């Protein structure tokens, strides 16, 4: 039954003919295309050559990482203190569950622990900076961190472990802009100094 004021609707369809040429929709399987291209590359040797380039690039990156941008040789001595204190986002407890510091408190970790090592930051391609770093402490007391150069090559040559400041994370954090630089704990702060070495006219 229809309500008052309603109008019955009749469905109908008409053929208006075809206007212009038509084509079926074709969407090739992208995965199949990729597989076909990879197979072609394998057969003509391009895939092996590409894999070899990837391996060589990875090996080069490990052996000689990208130099830290913006770090230059020190031309004058500079010294400053670094306070590692942070404002806590949550409570800190020791291994026995005893509360050490509460959320929101200004906390200095150096009041509770001592650094096991000091750090020397150097340009590993500079013979003068390498020699300077080796005089700053024994391997069990000093870690030598490169901002440029090959840590693996230096380890082979000196039988001493070297590290690399990837992406400048450490030098950026501590404000180090020049090498060589030495970072040493002094009580509840870090003592940092950049050292201007005598110019020898050679920087390898």
Look at residue 3 in the predicted model and tell me its pLDDT.
46
User: Which pLDDT score is estimated for 72?
Assistant: 97
Give how far Cα 150 sits from Cα of 42, 69, 141, Å. 34, 16, 21
How confident is the prediction for the chain on average, in pLDDT?
A: 82
- Run of H or E residues at 35: helix 30-43
Give the model's pLDDT for residue 58.
Answer: 53
143-187 pLDDT, tens digit each? 999 999 999 999 999 999 999 999 999 999 999 999 999 999 999
- pLDDT tens per residue across span 75-104: 999 999 999 998 989 988 888 988 888 999
In which band, very low, low, confident or very high, does the pLDDT at 53 lie, cut at 50, 70 and 90? low
CB 181 within 8 A of CB 121: yes
Alpha helices for 112-167 (secondary structure H): 127-134, 151-158
**pLDDT over 80 (residue 49):** no
Note the Cα 27 to chain centre separation in Å. Answer: 41
- Tell me the DSSP string of 36-87: HHHHHHHHTTHHHHHHHHHHHHHHHHHHSPPPPTT-EE-SS-EEEEE---EE
pLDDT band for 52, please (50, 70, 90 cuts).
Answer: low
pLDDT tens-place string over residues 23-48: 555 556 777 777 777 778 777 877 66
Per-residue pLDDT reduced to its tens digit, 100-135 = 889 999 989 898 889 999 999 999 999 999 999 999
| pLDDT value of residue 1 | 44
pLDDT for the residue numbered 33: 73
């Amino acid at each position: 039954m229809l309500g008052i004021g309603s109008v019955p609707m009749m469905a109908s369809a008409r053929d208006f003919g075809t206007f212009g040429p038509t084509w079926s929709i074709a969407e090739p399987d992208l995965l199949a295309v990729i597989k076909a291209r990879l197979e072609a590359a394998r057969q003509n040797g391009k895939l092996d050559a590409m894999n070899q380039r990837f391996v060589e690039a990875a090996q080069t990156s490990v052996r000689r990482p990208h130099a830290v941008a913006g770090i230059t040789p020190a031309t004058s001595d500079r010294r400053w203190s670094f306070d590692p204190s942070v404002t806590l986002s949550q409570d800190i407890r020791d291994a026995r569950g005893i509360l050490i510091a509460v959320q929101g408190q200004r906390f200095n970790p150096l009041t509770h622990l001592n650094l096991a090592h000091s750090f020397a930051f150097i340009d590993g391609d500079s013979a003068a900076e390498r020699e300077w770093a080796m005089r700053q402490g024994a391997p069990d007391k000093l870690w030598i961190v490169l901002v440029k150069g090959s840590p693996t090559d230096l380890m082979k040559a000196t039988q001493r472990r070297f590290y690399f400041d990837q992406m400048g994370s450490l030098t950026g954090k501590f404000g180090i802009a020049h090498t060589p630089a030495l970072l040493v704990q002094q009580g509840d702060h870090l003592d940092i100094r950049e050292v201007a070495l005598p110019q020898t006219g050679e920087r390898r």
